[in-house]
Amino acid sequence: MCGIFGEIGGEDETVPIGVISHRGPDGSGVWRDGNVVFGHCRLAVIDLEGGKQPWVEGGSALTFNGEIYNFRELRRELEGKGVKFRSRSDTEVLFKVLETYGEEGVRMLDGMFAFGYWDGRRLILARDRFGVKPLYWTRKGNRFAFSSEIKALLSLGWVPKRPNLKTLRYHLAFLWSPYPYTAFEGIHKLPPGHLLVWENGEVRIKRYYDPHKDYGVGDVHPEEVLETLRRSVHAQMVADVEVGIFLSGGVDSSAIAALTGRSLRAFTLRFRDEDMRAEIFSGEEEYAREVARLHGHDLITVEVSFNPEVFRRVVWHLEEPIGDGAAVSNFLLSEGARKAGLKVALAGTGGDELWGGYPRYRALLLSRRFPFLRFLPDLPFSSGRLGRLARDVRKFREAASLPFPLRYLRWMGYHDLPDVYGEMVERFPVLSDWLDSAMLFDILYFLPEHNLLYTDKTSMAHGLEIRVPFLSNDLLRLALRTPSKLKVGLTGGKLILKRSLEDVLPRRILYRKKAGFGAPVKGWMAGPLRPYLHDTLRDPLLREILPGEVIRETVNENLNGRGFKYLHAYEMMTVSVWREVFGL
């Protein structure tokens, strides 16, 4: 896992690898050829001595971030064609694939990756089909640059630093923004499953993988799900350094823990009691401990130490104002694991999107089968778990009468910005089944632009590689052909996944109520972040996007400890601190 950078048409500027060196603390390298420059900072995981980058042969060069899980199979295929290798690294295999097959070789890859490849006359950029690894690009005239992180691009003298107000509206509505937009004007995300070719000053973007083409109802059995997941877990455990696991005690991370086949160090979070008092969820350490004991893992509890400076560091590393406390949790868990000497950790990200785990899928099913539920009355509760139930009932009722897919978008949304919802309705995939459409939307947008983005940025902030076994090519194809009725029912989600795991995990783990990976943001806003929340009232950038009365009502409600719009307020506060941190 690494940080990459490249520029075409520069003027011998300093290569800004230092600003992203946290992504690769084990070494760095720079390659120049005329007006083309590649930079790389390396986190050494496979072939610690032989995989240094940029990888250069002849007039071609590669700067690569990620892991190719099928690199051994690809190497054998290439050796059968007479291709010679000088290292054991997946980097060299990727280079030879691109050298042999050009841009068509990207379709052969199973892994998480973002890379830039120069073949002597053109640049090829590509991002994996899920979007596990980020890749940004910008251009001005004949200048073009790309990087793993926005900070490296902002450090170039020819790249302006201006907020993108349209993108910020998405963040306030959903906590994330869709590709190709970023929070900075003129800087773009390469979409997942796409490649970009820069040749003779022209940009061409091409989709090399379309999940719509793998969609179809098939005859899927629990045993097939279990064995496909097992193969993915084992493939992603290949490394020349220790591999650990992030274990929350939820179904997805517990499934991975059950299938590793050997004992690992497992890491889980513990929040401070004073932060949890204001919360409506509880920690899951007891479940993580039970799974670790059952499968022989050594559970290490990371005690959370949160303060305003931690929040500012997270905002800086995220680069975009992702107002989800789970990003802070992942930052702190990654920090604890890295301090314990870990370089690679497995995580359960992606299980909800592929196998129907989110409660909003069940809400969609309920609203269609029982339309009279849109007449549910308000519940007379305003705090605690009953207050959360009252909030959920109100949110369900207010959107239940809307047409699909606007109904679904409102359930996953926060601030009411009609233009944003209208644009996402236009992007929504159209399949014959509503549930399939909703899950595919989340695979295309919510997964890469939210969960995977904050997971990458907050783990690589500490030079820690997160691998996601639920996101393999084979498991995606299997999930896409699994009928929605085998995933989501009136009683809950992940039905076939849970059935597949009944012989390896106890029912107490599999069938308990979903908690989710979160953070005590209410407690933080009532305590250490209260001054930041108060400052949000006067933020000039927010006032360009939201009406003043909306800002005041939302912030004051949370300052007074009332109501349940705490994520609305947390996102607003994140935008405000983001503006300050980046000097906008």
Closest CA to 568 of 530, 535, 522: 522
What's the predicted TM-score (pTM) here?
A: 0.95
- Residues in the chain, total: 584
Task: Say if residues 96 and 60 touch (Cβ distance below 8 Å).
Answer: no
Judged on CB neighbours under 10 Å (0-12, 13-18, 19+), 270 is middle
Q: How far is Cα 392 from Cα 564, in angstroms, rounded to an integer?
A: 10
Q: How far is Cα 68 from Cα 54, in angstroms, rounded to an integer?
A: 16
Q: Which residues of 277-306 are buried (b: 16+ CB within 10 A; e: fewer)?
A: ebbbeebbbebbbbbbeebebebbebebeb
Answer left, alpha or beta for residue 494, where phi above 0 means left and psi between -120 and 50 means alpha. Answer: left
Q: How far is Cα 151 from Cα 162, in angstroms, rounded to an integer?
A: 13
User: pLDDT tens per residue, the chain (584 residues)?
Assistant: 689 999 999 776 788 899 999 999 988 999 999 899 999 998 888 767 777 899 999 889 999 999 999 999 999 999 999 999 989 899 999 999 999 999 999 999 999 999 999 999 999 999 999 999 999 999 999 999 999 999 999 999 999 999 999 999 999 999 999 999 999 999 999 999 999 999 989 999 999 999 998 988 889 999 999 999 999 999 999 998 999 999 999 999 999 999 999 999 999 998 877 666 655 556 678 999 999 999 999 999 998 888 999 999 999 999 999 999 999 999 999 999 999 999 999 999 999 999 999 999 999 998 888 776 676 777 665 656 666 666 677 777 777 889 999 999 999 999 999 999 999 999 999 999 999 999 999 999 999 999 999 999 999 999 999 999 999 999 999 999 999 999 999 989 999 999 999 999 999 999 987 766 778 888 899 889 999 999 999 999 999 999 999 999 999 988 887 767 889 999 999 999 999 999 99
Closest CA to 190 of 145, 141, 152: 145
For residue 362, the surrounding DSSP H or E stretch is: helix 359-369
**Could you confirm whether domain 222-350+449-523 is CATH 3.40.50.620?**
yes
Other Cβ atoms less than 10 A from the Cβ of 115: the count is 30
Q: Which residues 6+ apart lie within 8 Å of 105 measured at CB?
A: 97, 98
Angle subtended by helix axes 165-174 and 566-581, to nearest 10: 150
Pairing of strands 243-246, 265-270: parallel
Intervals of CATH 3.40.50.620 along the chain: 222-350+449-523
CA torsion sign, 201 to 183 to 411 to 483?
positive
Answer left, alpha or beta for residue 120, where phi above 0 means left and psi between -120 and 50 means alpha. Answer: left
**Could you confirm whether domain 2-209 is CATH 3.60.20.10?**
yes
Give the residue carrying structure tokens 């605690």. 384
- φ and ψ at residue 131, rounded to 5 degrees: 85, 30
Estimate to the nearest angstrom the gap between the alpha carbon of 581 and the chain centroid: 22
Q: How far is Cα 102 from Cα 97, in angstroms, rounded to an integer?
A: 7
Intervals of CATH 3.60.20.10 along the chain: 2-209
Task: Say if residues 503 and 148 touch (Cβ distance below 8 Å).
Answer: no
Distances 222 to 163, 253, 501 between C-alpha atoms, Å: 47, 18, 8
Angle subtended by helix axes 473-480 and 222-235, to nearest 10: 160
* Vertex 197: Cα angle to 194 and 199 (nearest 5): 170
Q: SS3 of 447, please?
A: helix
Task: Say if residues 414 and 399 touch (Cβ distance below 8 Å).
Answer: no
